[in-house]
Chain A
Amino acid sequence: MQSEQTKPLHTLRLRDLSPGSCCKVVEMGKAGNTARLKAMGICLGRNLEVLKAGDPLIVKVYGTRIGLSARLAEEIQVQSCQGSQRCWEKVLPYG
């Protein structure tokens, strides 16, 4: 919780996002100790879309869905993506 002081004010916990919101991971917190989480694509700088809020919750990262418990999600700090564009659309350019 101490690390909260160093973060910009507009970061949110992944756990607190509502379904449909897109975000970018800015800090992993204690969840950063879970290498599996990062190897599955939930790591610093990745774009996520929350598909289902609650505990456990479902996020979409790249082409897949990951179910994770709120215990992990409340460690992860994110920034909301701008505008109405969905995050996976920003990852890939149009042909």
Chain B
Amino acid sequence: MDKLSAPFPKIALAGNPNAGKTTLFNVLTGMRMQTGNFAGTTVTKKIGICKLADRNVELIDLPGMYSLEATSIEEKVAGDVLMGVNPAYPKPEVVVAVLDATNLERNLYLFSQLTECDLPVVVALSMVDRAHQEGLDVDTALMESAIGCKVIPINVEKGQGIEDLKAAISDVYSWGLSEYPRPHKPSEDVKCGVGCQGCPFHGRFTWSEQIVSQVIKTRHASPGRLTDSLDEILTHPFLGFLAFLAVMFLVFYAIFSVATVPMDLIELSFESLGDWVANVVPDGDFQSLLRHGVIGGVGGVVVFLPQICLLFLMLALLDDSGYLSRAAFVMDRVMRRVGLPGTAFVPMLSGHACAIPAIMATRVISSPRDRLVTILVLPLTSCSARIPVYVLMVTLLFPHNPYFAASALVGAYMLGIVTALTAAWCLKKTILPGESESLLLEMPAYKVPNVRNALMHTWEKALIFLKQAGTVILLISIGLWVLSTYPKADLSPDLEAETAEKIQLEYSMAGRIGKAMEPVIRPLGYDWQIGIGILSSFAAREAIISGLSIVYGIGESGAEDSDLLVENLRQATRSDGTPVFTIATCLSLLVFYVLAMQCLPTQAVTKAETGSWKWAGFQLLYMTVLAYTAALIVYQGLRLFGVS
């Protein structure tokens, strides 16, 4: 009960997806908001404080919904809150219904259900200017009397109607919540409930058509000409696909070019932080824990934050412009064949930056089966953390041939994509049978995206990622630091630092596991040093580089000098004097890194999003088996053909 006596009155913002609810929420609350999840779900809960003239109220942005019938998790959550049966959130006191003036019939369908929640309702009529351009002018006075509640036309971009809306909400409290008149309910025969012969939706739509025919006054223009002509191209089976590739190329070009500057800055600041710790904290295990476990481990993952933010920013802009639903439309043809829905392409795409936000982005997929398949195959797409490893291997393979080097890099990416799609197909044929859910999505009219909304969205995603880095990733980094630090080797003090590091790592648990692994990884062409590198990759894949530079005796700082590292690796030999990094070994290692699940932070997110370690374990198992088998075939196959 103490939740109900929370300091601010609670107001819910309800409306169809794309009705302009989030834009309104952002304007009403400013930056004063918190995001989280509704208890027990992955549905985002956004709460903010809105300042009215005479009081502050707490505003909750309910997920977009078409009806209270709960046809998706989002609608279930939103409906439960409105009906006061969500244990994690009390029934709101007032509902602000955001209705899109360009599509009033369908928006009124939801409104007809909201009238039955026995709550005071204030209507915010959005997209009024756009409706006007399309020749639709809503007579708000008539509408107020037809539906029996206050209707405030708003234009968030121009700031019109916001103060009126706030005043209307204040007005509800001046009246008193129980005295404030409720909106008109459609009559009983319109609702056509259980046991009704016809379509239970029919009556409500007929009701809303009647309302619209009373309140919309003019109609002189044909709506959506621009959207229709853009759709001719963007949803065309062939041209649409080309357009999709072009858009994705631009997105990734921006990610990999613009993001390098802030990434270098982050790397630099983590390095200076490490140096600062080295100066302030006395030498010893504690300093090493701080520098290598905490700062190094977390820094290694946080360095991808700029790429992740850019990706989310661009996806948010594309989504708001209306393009993303067209991309899902075009991709549905391709994805459906392997048992994935068209909506899975955004997560698959995000996976090329980092699997963690990508797995979180699978929340847009409504069918649980489709979502699970997407999560399971997602880490096969080549994330940014693999790039340093790819680059190292490709440099070892083709040091003097940039054309071959570039082709090998592209090949690694293609291998990841093709394997992910094949894996989805295999899952469909085996443990997760069934068709992907039929495509059904709204394709809103194109518009100029709202930059402010996109920035807010990016900020929210960045916070979630940083929270992960601060908790799970931190723990994993510390765990791996312990493995590579203990037990302590008995080192004589006059050893060189590089040699001491090398002996210590060999002696540590990580070193011992690496050596124990050698019989298993020998057929892939790896020695125990590479085994340690693979182990250290579990914090973040690029850690193999600092791992290798330690075991090959150039010290951790050697990892920063890539020429020195490549030179050292090229000269590394086995006990019998043959070189370690042959063509076969490099290719086998490249294939292994494309396919292997070597990222504990991703595993933690898989667990969080699927609700069980079972699927995280399955993911680790199948990807490891796949990577091992593929690397084995590459290495042994090449040796068979005389390439060593």
Residues of A within 8 A of B (CB): 28, 32, 34-41, 43-46, 51-52, 54-56, 58, 61-69, 71-72, 89, 91-95
Contacts and interface: CB of A to CB of B under 8 A. Distances in A.
Interface residues of B, number: 51
B438 A72 contact: yes
Given A55-B333, A69-B332, A37 B440 contact: yes
B440 A72 contact: yes
Contacts of A34: 71, 438, 440
Contacts of B25: none
B216 A92 contact: yes
Contact of B201 (A38, A52, A58): A38
Q: 9 closest Cβ contacts across the A-B interface? A: A63-B103, A44-B199, A39-B67, A39-B66, A36-B71, A69-B439, A69-B438, A95-B218, A65-B443
Given A65-B442, A69-B332, A40 B106 contact: yes
A38 B110 CA distance: 12
B69 interface: yes
A63 to B, nearest CB: 3
Contacts of B103: 62-64
Contacts of A54: 237
A6 to B, nearest CB: 15
Contacts of B444: 64-65
A82 to B, nearest CB: 18
A91 B103 CA distance: 12
Contacts of B325: 67
A81 B444 CA distance: 25
B440 A41 contact: no
24 contacts: A34-B440, A35-B69, A36-B440, A39-B71, A39-B110, A41-B106, A43-B205, A46-B205, A56-B333, A58-B235, A63-B102, A64-B442, A65-B442, A67-B329, A67-B441, A68-B439, A69-B332, A72-B440, A91-B105, A91-B212, A92-B212, A92-B219, A95-B218, A95-B219
A77 B371 CA distance: 31
Given A38-B199, A72-B438, 8 more contacts: A56-B439, A62-B105, A64-B444, A67-B329, A91-B209, A92-B136, A92-B212, A92-B219
Interface in B405-444: 435, 438-444
B503 interface: no
Interface in B197-212: 198-199, 201-202, 205-206, 209, 212
Contacts of B212: 91-92
Contacts of A43: 199, 201-202, 205
B205 A41 contact: yes
Nearest to B72: A36
A43 B206 CA distance: 11
A18 to B, nearest CB: 15
A2 to B, nearest CB: 20
Interface string B444-459: 1100000000000000
B593 to A, nearest CB: 36
Nearest to A52: B235
Most buried by B among A44, A61, A67, A89: A67
Contacts of A58: 231, 235, 329, 443
B442 A66 contact: yes
A55 B329 CA distance: 9
A80 B161 CA distance: 42
A51 B231 contact: yes
A64 B134 CA distance: 12
A67 B199 contact: no
A63 B105 contact: yes
Given A38-B201, A93-B213, A67 B440 contact: yes
Contacts of B481: none
A68 B199 contact: no
A47 B564 CA distance: 70
A51 B228 CA distance: 8
A64 B342 CA distance: 20
A44 B69 CA distance: 17
A61 B218 CA distance: 19
A45 B66 CA distance: 18
B227 interface: yes
A51 B104 CA distance: 20
Most buried by A among B109, B438, B441: B438
Contacts of B9: none
A28 B445 CA distance: 26
Nearest to A73: B438
B21 to A, nearest CB: 15
B100 to A, nearest CB: 8
B231 A35 contact: no
A94 B219 CA distance: 6
Contacts of A37: 440
A36 to B, nearest CB: 4
Contacts of A67: 235, 325, 328-329, 332, 439-443
B146 to A, nearest CB: 15
A8 B126 CA distance: 41
A36 B597 CA distance: 36
A53 to B, nearest CB: 11
Contacts of A55: 333
A35 B217 CA distance: 31
B223 interface: yes
Given A64-B106, A66-B443, A92-B216, A39 B227 contact: no
Interface in B304-321: none
Contact of B440 (A62, A68, A95): A68
A44 B438 contact: no
B558 to A, nearest CB: 54
A61 B329 CA distance: 17
Contacts of B342: 56
Interface string B131-167: 0001010000000000000000000000000000000
Contacts of B105: 41, 62-63, 91
Interface string B336-374: 100000100000000000000000000000000000000
B227 A65 contact: yes
Contacts of B218: 94-95
A39 to B, nearest CB: 4
